[in-house]
A and B are shown apart, each in its own frame.
Chain A
Amino acid sequence: MPATQSLVTIKGRKDGLVLVMNEACAYRDLLIELKEKLAASTNLNKNGPVISVKIEMGNRYIDADQRDQLKQIIHSYDHLKVEEIHSNVLTYAELDKIKEQEKMVTMVRIVRSGQVLSVQGNLLLIGDVNPGGVISASGNIYVLGSLRGVASAGQGEDRKDAVIVASIMAPTQLKIGVTMSRNERNTAEVLTERHMFECAYLDEHIGKIVIDRIQTTMKKGNLPFTLNKM
């Protein structure tokens, strides 16, 4: 490989830096050049505002350890923050996992007291969750019925963007990712039309689960990513 061709190209953008990595060379050489380039950029050593960094790997597969390694190198500069490491390549195992996460599992039943319904992917439950019943999904939860028990969305990997939607939202507890909330609402009140068809999501600014009418959630425009996609 000719020494003149650079393996790591640093591009400055309004919203931060983009590091474009050569996709054909040896990974080891990439790391060497990355370190050199960062060291050579004198302005990176100055203290300044935090700069976000996106790494574009192109058609190179990069595993979790390698991702960590790249982050470590870049985070050795205090004001650099890796936002995203993007690669065009997935393993089959990763693809299967994504497919499983995006799958919609439809169930028609009543989840009664003492019963647990747990799925990988998104759960569409046609029926009620009674007090003492538990539903859980790695993705979103949609209940066409009354949610009166416990619902946990975004389970497994702390997916903060997961949502819980129910025709009648009267849960005893909700959990999104690792954040939990108890319902302080009294059940009789919930049965009014005002509380029909509500959506619970994690408001990251306040670190709490918020319940809104679905129409309000839509108006606010701060719908979580997952619901937007639908």
Chain B
Amino acid sequence: MGEAIVVTSGKGGVGKTTTSANVGTVLALQGKKVCLVDTDIGLRNLDVVMGLENRIIYDLVDVAQGRCKLNQALVKDKRFECLSLLPAAQTTDKDSIQPDQMKKIIDTLKADFDYIIIDCPAGIERGFKNAVAGADHAIVVTTPEISSVRDADRIIGLLEQEKQVSPPRLIINRIRQHLLKSGEMLEIDEIMNILAIDLIGIVIDDDGVISSSNKGEPIALNPSSKAAMAYRNIGRRILGETVPLMDLDEKQGFFHRVKALLGMR
């Protein structure tokens, strides 16, 4: 029986889809059977980021409405045998599927996969409820900006009301290198102070993320990038390993503190 992890944020454009693609990829790299589920109906992206757009025949809504079998809608990844994608529909809207239908689909997938990574749309309405319906765990993505942290807080509050979801964990995405260099570290402390949930990783802002998304190749496949290392570490933490934060040797003190936040020495 696999585990379903929803990747959510409240605010749009903070990196949910990027995180889903990369976390799914690193788990597949570790040999796990992974299914990515795009629940952003009407604004699907995950297929593009994974470079699988041209292989889509059926989608999530087709499955929910019985137009095809679940297996028929799954798109196999080009690189990994053990990685699949259940794409979102592009031509309908978020109301064309109900949370209970969603839960049934996720439950079915859990029988066949080790990890189901659910890419949640922005917002707190139906799309969010759909995405969370079948999840066992949640990863909240935020950037180091006040508005993004506010929305993350709101989402954490909503997730805490979902009894079947374990306490959410946090990824802080798009951390700017020059902020690290200038010693402007309060941000991370302040974010952790406010959100008060476990940190599962920090990902720097990396131009490579954008170019690799455009190529349909998740950056996690390129081990020379620091963002890729961050995603690999997040993957290992999901698998239960205790992984220290890699040292970007910009600011010892900073990582020392983040390690403390992660409960490491």
Residue of B nearest to A187 (CB): B190
In residues 64-112 of chain A, which contact B (Cβ within 8 Å)? 110, 112
Q: Is B194 an interface residue (CB 8 A)?
A: yes
The answer to whether A188 touches B186, judged by C-beta atoms less than 8 angstroms apart, is: yes
Q: Choose from B153, B158, B160 the contact partner of A130 (Cβ within 8 Å).
A: B153
Given A112-B157, A113-B157, A188-B186, residue A131 in contact with residue B196 (CB < 8 A): no
The answer to whether B194 touches A131, judged by C-beta atoms less than 8 angstroms apart, is: yes
The answer to whether B153 touches A146, judged by C-beta atoms less than 8 angstroms apart, is: no
In residues 142-166 of chain B, which contact A (Cβ within 8 Å)? 150-151, 153-154, 156-158, 160
The answer to whether A131 touches B150, judged by C-beta atoms less than 8 angstroms apart, is: yes
Distance from A18 Cβ to chain B, minimum over Cβ atoms (Å): 55
Distance, CA A148 to CA B146, complexed state (A): 13
Q: Give the A-B pair count, Cβ closer than 8 A.
A: 29
The answer to whether B154 touches A113, judged by C-beta atoms less than 8 angstroms apart, is: yes
Interface residues on A, range: 10 to 19
Distance from B8 Cβ to chain A, minimum over Cβ atoms (Å): 14
The answer to whether A128 touches B150, judged by C-beta atoms less than 8 angstroms apart, is: no
The answer to whether B194 touches A114, judged by C-beta atoms less than 8 angstroms apart, is: no
User: Contact mask A177-192 → B, CB, 8 Å, 1/0?
Assistant: 0000000000010000
Q: Is B193 an interface residue (CB 8 A)?
A: yes
Distance, CA A96 to CA B147, complexed state (A): 44
Q: Is A59 an interface residue (CB 8 A)?
A: no
Chain B residues with CB under 8 A of A115: 157
Q: Is A16 an interface residue (CB 8 A)?
A: no
Distance, CA A128 to CA B160, complexed state (A): 15
Chain B residues with CB under 8 A of A130: 153, 194
Q: Is A132 an interface residue (CB 8 A)?
A: yes
Q: Choose from A128, A132, A188 the contact partner of B196 (Cβ within 8 Å).
A: A128
The answer to whether A113 touches B186, judged by C-beta atoms less than 8 angstroms apart, is: no
The answer to whether B196 touches A114, judged by C-beta atoms less than 8 angstroms apart, is: no
The answer to whether B156 touches A112, judged by C-beta atoms less than 8 angstroms apart, is: yes
Distance, CA A132 to CA B156, complexed state (A): 13
User: Contact mask B213-235 → A, CB, 8 Å, 1/0?
Assistant: 00000000000000000000000
Chain A residues with CB under 8 A of B151: 113
Chain A CB within 10 Å, residue with most, of B151, B158, B196: B196
Chain B residues with CB under 8 A of A110: 196
Chain A residues with CB under 8 A of B157: 112-115
Chain A residues with CB under 8 A of B194: 128, 130-131, 148
Distance from B9 Cβ to chain A, minimum over Cβ atoms (Å): 13
Distance from A182 Cβ to chain B, minimum over Cβ atoms (Å): 17
Distance, CA A115 to CA B158, complexed state (A): 9
12 contacts across the A-B interface (CB closer than 8 A): A110-B196, A112-B160, A113-B151, A113-B153, A113-B154, A113-B157, A114-B157, A128-B194, A128-B196, A131-B194, A132-B153, A148-B194
Binding site for A on B (CB under 8 A): 150-151, 153-154, 156-158, 160, 186, 193-194, 196
Q: A112-B157, A112-B160 are in contact. List 5 more A-B contacts (CB 8 A).
A: A112-B154, A128-B196, A130-B194, A131-B153, A132-B154
